[in-house]
Structure 1
């Protein structure tokens, strides 16, 4: 056994938090942002023991869930380094005054693309390299390299409430020859399907494991998945039709949910949360947005609602910029943010347009200092701050 240093003994004896009631220590920690909690973990051994308890993590998560935030990922590239910055700010009272920033230095050769925030954590992937981190604390850990001979991989990140663990699903896409009959002739063409399905559970002995999928499908790249109640949902092509795939994180079973027979829905749309339900948002060449809400996954029951958004020309003071639909908040407010036609161009200052379909009110949020024209930006909504230590 190694000897305890004199400095460690002095820190334990002089720890002022040891003399306070435990309930008061918890109350103090609950009022602090995650960055401060992480620092206190190293400053006080007594507080560290509280911070690492699962009960405190759950208590902090319950409080944060009532105060959702916007999370903005900003990737700044350079010849010698890449700096990943995460900005978060209150959705209820957005302003520069409550802007919180955490920075993380990335491998210059790995431009990670991140999944939506799940219970405060996010997952980034570049090829077979993956990281999971807490953007509220700036702590990130590398996952084992995805074992695959192919580089075309799609991934999804979620939380399993049954076993209280986070999991990552990776699907390797392979192109297979197939046949299609056309006008009496047999035409050779190629099916792009997910072949290898691997799962990793975050923890001490994390390693990739193969899982079986009985439904040959092609996940759509560039579309974000949704994790809700321990189930991952993502859009894919199944039997030549656009479908909604689900993956139960506890049982690790796949399932297919048919989409309504709607021509536009088969061509356009992406997943979002709406009124606590999985929803596909479809918008094509008009200002009308169709919301297809999954009412019952087992019975494949959907409902449809249409929302008309005011012409974005009203906000045309930014040159060559229009506002694209980004998501729906828990309050039902629809969020739009700038999208430029020029590649790798970010408007500065950064804007959000919020539209409430019930009251028909439109609000604008301006964020200064978020990024410049060379930055790559991702925006996530209903982010919950977490004090989880990885």
Structure 2
């Protein structure tokens, strides 16, 4: 015990900046254990400056695959993103979420899931969660969107309150995690619209797909600047094929080379539309023809798919076994594909139904 005390005293003599430089290279699991090393280390690890520093380092590493399984309950399985089966590891995390709740994509390591008017923010790395204050919706349906502002290192939840026969957005509210306890109403200065599909947050801007109620054929993407809390519409994808395939939800918003992009799916072909200039609403388009070895990539088909920031499409079967399963990978940049067989828990042969698959999970130290 005396030897440990002496070590702690010497560690407290180190400059705080040096301690942070050392600690930022360690995994979350190790940092949580180090909270008990000394008061200095505990206060340093829990500080906002260090959490932002650690997140910035995490964002430079390969992002993890996140599987959402339904097996009597919602479970999250985290694994490092890799093509080497020998280094593939998994662990199970119970989300404590009943069936048929809504789970949203990971945003810089945090996940949110909604149960009616109740929203829970969950960090799978620390396995801690927090329930946000409920909204008085007068029984109106709502949509939640989680966004991150990299400048202020702040997470904000955007709430769209819907109404009418077609679930038109009637009102927006926002809440900042860790600093606010109540939802505040923000100005809705954009045209009336109906949101659909999953959202996406890139460089402090939150995006989701929508139809304008002006013509019901006007396809738009709604953007929300997380820092300024300003809303706007992005157009430029108006075409007969865009309307048909986005209406059928055979499309997905993705980050492609740090730009907003939309993937459209037509049988064995992929249409990639990249937003080159948001102010001018200019898009570039590329067409890819997939080989017959790649399964159907319709997001609501027989497989579950995700797209990495580097332009790689990863597809998994809807039903997986814990002992072994395969991932199909297609690289948009090289037009090459491969199948990776993953060896999981060889002692378990349980089957899992895959609700969703995403590839943007990073280690986050935020304590909820």
TM-score normalised by the chain length of structure 2: 0.84
Question: Is 1:57 paired with 2:37?
Answer: no
Q: Please, which runs of 5 or more residues in structure 1 have no aligned partner? A: 1-9, 176-189, 340-344
Equivalent positions of 1:81-96 (< 5 A) are 82=73, 84-91=75-82, 93-95=83-85
**Aligned to 1:334, which of 309, 313, 316?**
313
| Matching residue of 2:234 | 257
**Aligned to 2:255, which of 265, 270, 273?**
273
Question: Is 1:123 paired with 2:98?
Answer: no
Equivalent positions of 1:251-330 (< 5 A) are 251-268=228-245, 269-284=251-266, 286-312=267-293, 322-323=302-303, 325-327=305-307, 329-330=308-309
**Aligned to 1:363, which of 318, 338, 347?**
338
Counterpart-to-counterpart distance in 2, 1:372 and 1:294: 42
Contact kept? 1:83, 1:106, Cα under 8 Å: yes
| Matching residue of 1:248 | 225
Query: 1:161: Cα distance to partner?
Result: 3.0
| Matching residue of 2:211 | 237
| Matching residue of 1:200 | 175
Q: Please, which runs of 5 or more residues in structure 2 have no aligned partner? A: 246-250
Give me the CA root mean square deviation: 2.9
Measured against aligned partners, the alpha-carbon deviations of 1:120-148 in whole angstroms (never above 9, x if no partner) come to: 21221122111112111111111111221
Per the alignment, in what secondary structure is the counterpart of residue 131 of structure 1? strand
CA gap of 1:87–1:306, structure 2 versus 1, over 3 A, is: same
Measured against aligned partners, the alpha-carbon deviations of 1:224-282 in whole angstroms (never above 9, x if no partner) come to: 11111221110001121221111112222211111323211112222111111111100
Query: 1:16: Cα distance to partner?
Result: 2.7
CA gap of 1:110–1:148, structure 2 versus 1, over 3 A, is: farther
Per the alignment, in what secondary structure is the counterpart of residue 266 of structure 1? helix
Contact kept? 1:169, 1:200, Cα under 8 Å: yes
CA gap of 1:127–1:73, structure 2 versus 1, over 3 A, is: farther
Give the length in aligned residue pairs: 348
Contact kept? 1:17, 1:25, Cα under 8 Å: no
Larger Rg: 1
Counterpart-to-counterpart distance in 2, 1:165 and 1:307: 37
